[in-house]
Amino acid sequence: MAIMATTDTFLLGISTSLFIAGLAALISFYLISIGIYRLYFHPLAKYPGPILNRISPIPLSYQLIRGRLPFYVKQLHDIYGPVVRLTPTELTFNSEKSWKDIYGSRPGHQNFHKDPVHVGSIQTVPGVVTITMAGDADHARQRRALSHAFSTKALLEQEYLIRNYVDVFRDKMNEFASTGQVCNIADWFSYTTFDIIGHLSLGEPFGCLTSSDLRFWVPVISESIKAGAIEQASRRLATTGSKLQNLFLKIFAPTELRDQRRKHLEYSREKILRRIQQTGTNQHRDFLYYLMNQKDKDNLNQDEIIVNGALFIIAGSETTGSFMAGLFNHLLRPENRNVLDKLVAEIRGAFKSDDEITYEELVKLPWLTAVLEEGLRIFPSAPIGFTRSVPAGGDSVDGHFLPAGTTVSTCMWAATHTEDNFKDPYEFRPERWLDKTNATDKLGASNPFSLGPRGCIGRNLSYMEQRLITAKLLWHNDVAMTNDESWAEWTPRNDHENMQVFTNWIKAPLNVRLSPRNI
């Protein structure tokens, strides 16, 4: 009996071992088959890219999680050319034409929708989407309602308010100049844009320029954007809503990080509801005024007003604030001293007093305009590629016919930092935007606000802020580097090797010294 029991145990062990070996072989065969299909028989098999990218979304997701995705994509374009296969189902482009094909409106073509993998920065509200996440019908309805608030006429009506906040920023910079104290100007740019968008959106000041009470909200915005980017990475690795995706989220985006999106929505909801309750008494023409006074069928419901208001606060503060820090990071470096000197001379030569500095006059300054356009090219606030999905029936991008469902994008960093589009792409050269005979640069390859029906609705506001902040700062003060650690963090070397991007830049401090100009 003992011998029989031993034999049964032995045979059971063999059976278990054979089962495990067989299962492992089956899984291996399955994975190898998928790899072979994706490499040689998939509809996108002919497009170049690293082998691992062509068979798996893991390399792309890894770069997204570590905050280096746009620079990684740029490196791949340097190796493989103008179209690269990023994942088994995704292609990235860097050409001027691809911008128009993916994001523009072409006669006889359907619009490319947001890809399902895309995640917004706003906490999800069931049944409600922001203008950036809406489908075509909802997007068109929301944009019609919102366009009144962002029209040139509405912004010019609000210029006095924007100038008031820029003047507070100016006064704070003058204080730093008079004391000689080092100034982390990156934070002050953010406080300024945050206060402006708060008042424009909600009709009440946030007061970050004058008080520390709400400054905690500024990093919450940055963390909200980061959490959304990491959730996007998890969607690439696992089915949305699955246990595996939730596991990835817990690993790469801890609860406290993901909680920032909820906090931002809660803070925004509280202030927006208070503003809605003031509809009959508060006639300040902020963005909500225009939304709440729409009388046609394009009216937004209350939840849509709340989520879009929360979106305005993110999109209208962090983007311009980050850009302004990046712009001055370039302007103040020794190699660009001639650019700065020429800019200062133009601004100070154009105005005899601070009161003369208006948006209407600033748009007439050609060098300022060129400096801003070059800044947006070399340091775009969102250097990534916004993913779109090829519509039913397939469509062409940059001469390549692609099957329906293919994920496509034009990577802003890759498009603006390649010799194929710009001569000396890593050099800060504003004159490229002034030369009407410029045949070496494809200026249309730089689209910092995207383009087409889903282009940034707030671009005019951003340009107004950029011009006023830059002009007021440089008209009053000389600004210089401090040569401390903050400038090492901001080095442009190796595609800003010390910085991260999660849709937008994660900013380090940027310390400067200011001194009053000699008049």
Give the residue ranges of the annotated binding site for heme: 456
249: closest CA among 231, 268, 261? Answer: 231
Query: H or E stretch including 95?
Result: none
Q: In the block, which residue shows the tokens 């100009």?
A: 517
Coil, helix or strand at residue 458 = coil
Is residue 205 a contact partner of residue 198, using CB atoms and an 8 Å limit? yes
What's the CA angle centered on 340, arms 334 and 346, to 5 degrees? Answer: 160
What's the CA angle centered on 363, arms 358 and 365, to 5 degrees? Answer: 105
Q: Which amino acid is at 168?
A: V
Structure tokens at 8: 């049964």
Can you spell out the DSSP letters for 282-346? ----SHHHHHHT--STT---HHHHHHHHHHHHHHTTHHHHHHHHHHHHHHTSGGGHHHHHHHHHH
Is residue 422 a contact partner of residue 146, using CB atoms and an 8 Å limit? no
Coil, helix or strand at residue 397 = strand
Q: What is d(CA 130, CA 308) in angstroms, rounded to the nearest whole number?
A: 5
Coil, helix or strand at residue 343 = helix
CB proximity list for 53: less than 8 A, separation 6 or greater: 59, 60, 76, 85, 86, 87
Q: Detail the residues annotated as belonging to a binding site.
A: 456
Is residue 132 a contact partner of residue 456, using CB atoms and an 8 Å limit? no
Looking only at the bridges linking them, the beta strands covering 407-410 and 90-93 are parallel
Query: H or E stretch including 83?
Result: strand 83-87
CB burial of 479-510 (b: ≥16 within 10 Å; e: otherwise) equals: bebeeeebbebbebeebbeebbbbbbbebbbb
Coil, helix or strand at residue 35 = helix
Q: In the block, which residue shows the tokens 């990491």?
A: 230
Q: Which amino acid is at 465?
A: E
Query: H or E stretch including 427?
Result: none
Q: What is d(CA 232, CA 119) in angstroms, rounded to the nearest whole number?
A: 5
Q: Which amino acid is at 145?
A: A
Give strand pairing partners of 480.
Answer: 513
Within its chain, how far is the Cα of 106 from the centroid? 25
